Amino acid sequence: MLGTEVVAACSQRNRTVRVYDLPEFDIANEDHLRQAVEAADAIINCAAYTNVDGAQGQTELAYRVNAEAVGRLGRLARELGKWVLHISTDFVFDGGLDRPYVETDSPNPINEYGRSKLAGEVLLGDSGCTHCLVRLEWTYGLHGRNFVTKLVERAKTSQSLSVVSDQVGSPTATTEAAKAICDLLEQRAEGLFHFASAGYVSRYDMAAFVFDHLGLEVVLRPCRTSDYPAAAARPLNSRFDCRKIGPLLREPIASWQRPLEHFLRQL
């Protein structure tokens, strides 16, 4: 989902992009990875095992892709003198703070997906390569299933839906994230950054926004995360403080409503 938008954004800025993806390319395969790193001037890693609930039962696979492969990428990049931008997630936090998370807050993941992503962050740092780490949250886009598309799918078969009202974050379009990634690429930025659309909303209010703009007549009922059975625990607070990345971006970060409205018009 994100990778497709990154390719488009980089191409718009006249950058030559090589895409490596399954099934021909496996990031967990060291030979595949070395060939890719050797051929690159810079590496943007959007690859990840992202099935949050699935990671509870496929822990080994999640760690192989989200942690071990990232550490290997970092070691190869250090050996070959390449810059790496790696994508991480708000799920490295437990969601227990009563304010937005800054980059210096201590991670404390509460599910295996978050633990595997945090392990990838640590291994990348330990590799000693020159790198930039960007945490994203609540992403959606045209090139993959996400919260918005799942809502629309469910609305086609049900006239009433229950949506959690105690999870709060920033819906972030992959198009917006891709532009930010390109900005960091151009500067070969280093360090850890949070990126999300401006402003915050609950999952429930986000769903109401989606159905209102699509003109779908669906009865929405708020519920709590604890009422919704899932294999993996979810952080309730996914809010990011994005002041650190702001000065490195070409444009101010847009509020979450504008990109989401554009996405819904495309749908």
**Catalytic residue annotation:** 113
Bridge pairing between strands 168-169 and 201-202? antiparallel
Q: Report the distance separating Cα 153 and Cα 138, nearest Å.
A: 18
- Whether the CB-CB separation of 194 and 240 falls below 8 Å is answered with yes
At 77, which helix (H) or strand (E)? helix 69-80
Task: Outline where DSSP puts E strands in 97-254.
Answer: 130-136, 139-140, 160-164, 168-169, 172-173, 191-194, 201-202, 219-223
CB atoms within 10 A of CB 261: 12
The CA R_g of the chain, rounded to the nearest whole Å, is 18
Q: What is the separation of C-alpha 256 from the centre of its chain, rounded to a whole number of angstroms?
A: 15
Give bridge partners of residue 219 from the DSSP assignment.
160
- Whether the CB-CB separation of 50 and 116 falls below 8 Å is answered with no
Residue 48 tokens read as 């990840």
Task: Tell me the longest C-alpha to C-alpha distance in the chain.
Answer: 57
Q: Helices in the chain by DSSP H: which ranges?
A: 2-12, 30-39, 54-57, 59-63, 69-80, 112-127, 147-155, 174-187, 203-214, 257-266
Q: Report the distance separating Cα 121 and Cα 192, nearest Å.
A: 9
